[in-house]
Amino acid sequence: MRDSVIKSNHGVTKITTTDLGKARRWYLDACGTALAMDLVGERWTLLIARELLLGPRRFGEIRGALEGLSANILTQRLEGMEKAGILRRRTLPSPTNAQVYELTKWGRALEEPIFALSRWAAGSPAHDVTLPLSNGAFMLSLRTMMDGEADPDFTPDLGFRIGGEPFRAQIVNGMLEIERRDPEGAQVIFAGEPTNLAATFYGRDPLIESMREGRVTVTGDIVLGQRFVDLFALPVFSND
């Protein structure tokens, strides 16, 4: 029997043709796009990777962020992603001693294709910003969709409490750098639920109107907050 050999930065994994044949979703195509779909094309896999882009997460945190994902499927996807070298498991030091999942260096390189897909899909007429959105997904949408060239000298210290979860962000070299940490002391702090905040950042109403309607709570410099919100807009669908 002829063997197929897949080489990567993580070593060489030998996979027999029979093994690939049993994996009915494998394309058996030498194109890198086909291999990418083999590795991350299963339902939920890219969304799990998305949830890990801002750092390690526990099993329950990943499942809680992805509505409709069962524990059994999550276990399968995590095992497959670990085997492929996309993520790894580790145990946090005492006193936490909790097991978390985190992207490998190679896995973190998924950020660029995930963001590119997000920007592309945002221009679809089927894009519905009222659908559920995880806390991390909303923050990553800001990193994805921000127009860093629109206000190049703007470098605010930003805080967020999204669904009760804390984040801190700053614009560095035209990119929004995000961390999961206490926003206290930031120049402006946005607080609210992800879907309401998406309506605030990607809608047409001024920030003060979103505050009046209860979609967002803002503390700190509201003028600076509006300046930040002005960096966001959804692309207009074009089929020319």
DSSP symbols for 22-79: HSTT-----SHHHHHHHHH-STTHHHHHHHHTTS-B-HHHHHHHSTT--HHHHHHHHH
Amino acid (1-letter code) at residue 157: D
Token code pair at residue 57: 């997460």
Element (H, E) at 189: strand 188-192
Regarding pTM above 0.95, the answer is no
pLDDT digits (tens), the chain, 240 positions: 334 444 444 444 544 444 444 455 678 888 999 999 999 999 999 999 999 999 999 999 999 999 999 999 999 999 999 999 999 999 988 888 899 999 999 999 999 999 999 999 999 999 998 899 999 999 999 999 999 999 999 999 999 999 999 999 999 999 999 999 999 999 999 999 999 999 999 999 999 999 999 999 999 999 999 999 999 999 888 887
Asked if 192 and 176 count as a contact pair (C-beta separation under 8 A), the reply is no
Q: What are the residues facing 165 on neighbouring strands?
A: 162
Q: Tokens 């999204």 correspond to what residue? A: 162
Exposure string for 32-60, b = 16+ CB within 10 A, e = fewer? eeebeebbbebebbebbbbbbbbebbebe
3-state secondary structure of 200: helix
* Distance between start and end Cα atoms, the chain: 50
CA distance 146 to 115: 11
Concatenating the DSSP letter of every residue in 88-136 gives EEEEPPTTT--EEEEE-HHHHTTHHHHHHHHHHHHTSTT--TTS---HH
CA distance 230 to 92: 39
Residue 25: what pLDDT?
66
